Amino acid sequence: FPLEAVFTGDRSLSSRPMDRVLEPLRAMGADVATAEAGRLPVRLKGGRLEGLRFRNEKASAQVKSAILLAGLRAGGDVEVLEPARSRDHTENMLRAFGCEVETSESEEDRLVRLGGRRTLAATSIDIPGDPSSAAFPLVAALIVPDSEVTVRSTLINPLRTGLLATLIEMGADLRLENRRRLSGEDVADVTARFGPLHAVEVPAERAPSMIDEYPILAVAAAFASGRTVMHGLSELRVKESDRLAAIVAGLRQCGVEAWDEGDTLVVEGHGGPPPGGASVAAHDDHRIAMSFLVMGLASRSAVLVDSAGMIATSFPGFSALMTSLGARLS
């Protein structure tokens, strides 16, 4: 639409690079101006956008979604090529609202294309449980003795289940029951039960399906026996914080040997509860804060995070939910 809008953000969001989204929108004809180094604030004016064939080199679902949504009123073909499948919730939701979305795959690429029917019609939807949020009570159950937790109606879209697959490889007692479809997505009730974990090597190609879950996976790795190695984590450098650096620093403060080698994270597990007892800097990052609070539930000494208000970014009921399960958070 031919509207002009200015987008601003808090300190964390203002530090994140925006060009990966803005460049394809510019190529479609949007008028875009940014602050220094392609960061917020951003002034944008749309309307009369043209079609685009875009190669999404990082297989970013956020970039793909921006192009598809902008393309709903664009003239001409709108296509996104990716080297690997990225999260497809936007495609599923567009189809649910009546939009034609076509996909095809070759040995080199996966193509997502808007069809000719791009007018959306109102519909009713049920939102599945977010697997990135479910990860925190599930991992808590795996590391706190005598625990068992079930998270109902959890999204198990195969492009989002990398954490579950990795935890099962680590020997986690995880059960997926009552599998069904909900508003075009696969869901299940996921149950986690306390038990021993062992180290694994996580391949880089799994990262897109669990990129937000690496902080809590690193916590699980600290309790596992052996050395866990996680590859392909460069994207963690440009999240709400440099999550890779924050994970390493927090684990070391809690007595866990950890380091990064380029985009690889290595965690030496304790085969049981690590020391804990540290005050960890969350860097205004909700997932870092929640991960180390979960760690403190089962480490030998409690863990303090320097800030927790930002947890409401993605999980406003985190403290109340964890307390209802028996956690002591203060």
**Has 212 been annotated as catalytic?**
yes
Catalytic residue among 88, 212, 284, 285: 212
Measure the CA–CA gap between 291 and 56, rounded to whole angstroms.
30
Whether the CB-CB separation of 183 and 128 falls below 8 Å is answered with: yes
The three-state DSSP-derived secondary structure of 86-126 is: CCCHHHHHHHHCCCCEEEEECCCCEEEEECCCCCCCCCCCC
Integer CA distances (angstroms), 8 to 1, 11, 30, 286, 311, in order: 20, 10, 18, 19, 20
Measure the CA–CA gap between 60 and 163, rounded to whole angstroms.
18
Q: Which amino acid is at 171?
A: G
Whether the CB-CB separation of 227 and 200 falls below 8 Å is answered with: no
Q: What residues contact 327, with CB distance under 8 A and at least 6 apart?
A: 140, 297
Which residue, chain included where needed, has tokens 């965690």? 267
Whether the CB-CB separation of 233 and 207 falls below 8 Å is answered with: yes
- Crossing angle of helices 243-253 and 214-223, in 10° steps, is 30
> Which residue intervals of the chain are DSSP H helices?
11-14, 19-27, 61-70, 89-96, 131-143, 162-169, 214-223, 243-253, 286-298, 318-324
Active site residues: 212
